[in-house]
Amino acid sequence: MQPPSPRTLGELRQAGHQLRSLRQEIRANLLRKMSTGETLFPGIVGYQDTVIPAVENALLCGHDLIFLGERGQAKSRMIRQMVGLLDEWMPIVAGSEIHDDPFAPVSAFARQEVARCGDATVIDWVHRDDRYVEKLATPDVSIADLIGDVDPIKVAEGRTLGDELTIHFGLLPRTNRGIFCINELPDLTEKVQVGLFNVMQERDVQVKGYSVRLPLDVLVVASANPEDYTSRGRIITPLKDRYAAQVRTHYPITRELELEVMHQEARAPEVPLVLASVPAFMSEIVAELTFQARASPDVNQTSGVSVRMSIANYETLVANALRRALRFGEKEAVPRISDLDALVTSTAGKLELEYAGEDRTEVEVVRDLIQRATRHVFDARVPLEGMAPVIDSFNQGWNVEVSADMAAADYLEGLDEIQGLRDAAARLAGGDSPERLACAIEFLLEGLHLQNRLNKNTNDGNARYGAPGGG
């Protein structure tokens, strides 16, 4: 990443560099990407027809914008990817703290440099990654942090309080000609929110009692959770009015989109010489678990159920299967229904429960959600009429015991005595390895149990399936 070659203002003029505002720059790069079909927000799934068009409209209009949505809806990721709409390199007056444009300097320092040196003014180049500043809003953020304050060291050096050069610029002026993001905007105190008025409307800043006007060129973007409007804080009406665009984000609207995000973002553990394979129906159960949580009356829906829950659950499921494979020396790690108990730890902390007078523990709620998710996927994947021979075998007295601590080979003992079970398992498993068949067998047995076609008794992590009414 080498910056362009001009090193002085005169060389910059000769190179044909043109003065343009930040919003003109973003608009031009956005139009170029749209015309060439380039992906504007790589890795963002499910927003192509909803959120992304709204963001494009806002940027084409040059609007400051706020992303409003529950946790885990890629608000921060989308904001950070806006950096890709900036030019790769931007010239500034060398030494400027606020990225002064050499053709139109606004700070006292840069104006003096250009007036003194003319075309010999030295310029530096700033990469687009350095033109993005992000601040997490907390109640202790001050006006000085965002706007600026008097620098006592500069005063001690002999400058007077009336000298603009005594100012220590805050984050917003230092983001001049760039993108400034405030995450969780409602957590800013009302006093600090008022301090943003001038930046967003008049495009300047005022520092204490100085008669100084800095016409800043900055895109102010924010994120907020709707819950924060009424619980931890609020966005005051005049500030909200200055955000010309409010973009509402959302969770994936289908299980397929949830799965796509989950597989894209998950970083499942890996073990040398052990292949981790997750059958499609097991991935679907993990995604459906999140969907069930988003619709459950036991879960506080105002705080949201993040896609991060699907991601963490998928990684945990693979980890549990890998541990078993290592213990039994198996070459393939395939998660089973009995591994779903491990998801309690990765799920419980991501849910806020609504107890509403009903005394249910987190573990009970999560296990109930897992059962609902399993039943949903089973109903969608397994025609019940095709399982009649299996049900008949159990009615004739067969019982099967399974456990997360059983080797896959143990599942195959006597398998052919249960008519139709091997064939049904092989169709689901996508292979005939013992590990895959064991996974499919557990899924079929659990599904039949949830359909009330089989009885299930559990003891110390073991599950025993048999005919209804059997032992």
Whether 300 has a pLDDT exceeding 50, the answer reads yes
**Which has more pLDDT, 375 or 200?**
375
Does residue 280 contact residue 286 with C-beta atoms inside 8 Å?
no
Q: State which H helix or E strand residue 91 sits in.
A: strand 89-93
Q: State which H helix or E strand residue 462 sits in.
A: strand 462-466
Q: State which H helix or E strand residue 293 sits in.
A: helix 280-295
Considering 23-37, 133-147, 421-435, 457-471, the range whose residues carry the highest mean pLDDT is: 23-37
Say whether pTM exceeds 0.85: yes
The region, left, alpha or beta by phi > 0 then psi within -120 to 50, assigned to residue 460 is: left
In sequence order, the β-bridge partners of residue 245 are 65
Question: 């104006």: which residue's tokens?
Answer: 111
Amino acid symbol at 387: M
Q: What CATH number was assigned to the domain covering residues 9-248?
A: 3.40.50.300
Cβ-Cβ contacts under 8 Å for 433 (sequence gap 6 or more): 332, 334, 408
Whether 212 has a pLDDT exceeding 70, the answer reads no
Distance CA 327, CA 330 (A): 8
Whether 228 has a pLDDT exceeding 60, the answer reads no
Whether 144 has a pLDDT exceeding 90, the answer reads no
- Residue 47: both structure tokens together: 């927003």
To the nearest 10 degrees (0 to 180), the angle between helices 255-265 and 307-328 is 60
Distance CA 67, CA 184 (A): 10
What is the average per-residue pLDDT within 375-390?
93
Whether 404 has a pLDDT exceeding 90, the answer reads no
Strands (E), 307-347: 332-333
Question: What pLDDT, on a 0 to 100 scale, did the predictor assign at position 358?
Answer: 61
Where does the chain hold its CATH 3.40.50.300 domain(s)?
9-248
Amino acid symbol at 19: L
pLDDT band at 357 (very low <50, low <70, confident <90, very high): very low
Question: What pLDDT, on a 0 to 100 scale, did the predictor assign at position 159?
Answer: 65
- Residue 309: both structure tokens together: 């829950």
Q: Which pLDDT tens digit goes with each residue over 426-436? A: 989 888 899 99
Q: CA angle, corner 369, sides to 363 and 374, nearest 5?
A: 125
* 3-state SS assignment for residue 182: strand
Whether 208 has a pLDDT exceeding 70, the answer reads no
Q: What is the torsion angle, in degrees rounded to the nearest 10, for the CA atoms of residue 39, residue 45, residue 49 and residue 50?
A: -110
Whether 230 has a pLDDT exceeding 70, the answer reads no
Cα–Cα distances in Å, from 51 out to 48, 67, 84, 128, 246? Answer: 7, 9, 17, 24, 10
Strands 400-403 and 462-466: antiparallel
Q: Which of 268, 287, 402, 285 is nearest to 333 (CA)?
A: 268
> How does DSSP assign 100-169, residue by residue?
-BTTB--SHHHHHHHHHHGGG-BEEEEEGGGGEEEEE--TT--HHHHTEEE-HHHHHTT--TT-GGGEEE
Does residue 396 contact residue 390 with C-beta atoms inside 8 Å?
no
Question: What pLDDT, on a 0 to 100 scale, did the predictor assign at position 229?
Answer: 53
CB atoms within 10 A of CB 256: 12
The dihedrals phi and psi of 91, each to the nearest 5 degrees, come to: -80, 140
What is the average per-residue pLDDT within 365-391?
93
Whether 232 has a pLDDT exceeding 80, the answer reads no
Does residue 320 contact residue 258 with C-beta atoms inside 8 Å?
no
Whether 263 has a pLDDT exceeding 60, the answer reads yes
% pLDDT > 90, the chain: 64
